[in-house]
Amino acid sequence: MRLTRVHVDAHLAVGRVVTLPESAATHLARVLRLKAGDPCLLFNGDGNDYAARITVLGKREVIAQVDSSCEVDNESPLAITLVQGIARGDKMDWILQKSTELGVNAFVPTSSERSEVRLEGDRADKRLAHWRSVVIAACEQSGRARIPTMTAVHPLQRSLSDLQVETRFLLDPQASGSIADLDAPGGGACVLAVGPEGGWSPRDRAMLEAAGFTGLRLGPRVLRTETAGIAAIAALQAGFGDLGQAKPA
């Protein structure tokens, strides 16, 4: 039986007793109808899964005790940072969820000249918290025990100035190069920049090229922002990461 994985934002160790987050407690108690003594898996992003059992199950509180821990080794050898022009509504959630499932290491949501969504102040903070919850939920589902990082929302130029990875790609339907032409990214890491619904403007493109981004063409068709990045990530993981790898003997 596959155990339910629950993210806990707390230190975890064998023998430790923890109170589960309210949302997780509600899911375990009301949706899955677990009972005291039933097992579950906890993780906090440190790279381990913690086998636990429920010791207290109340209407508003669920407490579990950690029985053992196990290191989880399912991170891709290719660390992809996704610079994503902010997309509207559910599209952004979809991008973050599927990119997490595919093994993206870090997210850099950015506003650009053609962005249709403008986020500032409290609205930006609330959206960022929501996006992080989407990523955590995707880790719960996909079995990842390390949570991708996510920066605050900044204008494109600021986002680019903070990047540390040197191998950088820009999705561009007019580019001549393709993923099939690439050598393995140096250092096992790369940055992928995907524009918002309206694409990168000429000004955005000039900034990206000045920051060392090389254009990549996915194919003969123009893809939507919520499709393009996912397709490119899958292709990069298939070529240089762990997508489709056979299990070790």
Domains recognised in the chain with CATH numbers? 5-71 (2.40.240.20), 79-240 (3.40.1280.10)
Give residue 249's pLDDT: 46
Coil, helix or strand for 114? Answer: coil
pTM of the model: 0.91
The DSSP output letter for 39 is: E
Distance CA 87, CA 223 (A): 14
Helices (H), the chain: 22-26, 89-101, 121-142, 156-161, 202-210, 225-240
- Non-local (6+) Cβ contacts of 36 within 8 A are 54, 55, 56, 57
Task: Provide the sign of the torsion angle of the four alpha carbons 210, 214, 218, 221, taken in this order.
Answer: positive
Tens digit of pLDDT per residue, the chain (249 long)?
A: 577 888 999 999 999 999 988 877 777 777 778 888 899 899 999 999 999 999 988 777 889 999 999 999 999 999 999 999 988 888 999 999 999 999 999 999 998 776 656 666 677 788 899 999 999 999 999 999 999 999 999 999 999 998 999 999 999 888 888 888 899 898 899 999 999 888 888 999 999 999 999 999 998 888 899 999 999 999 999 999 998 765 554
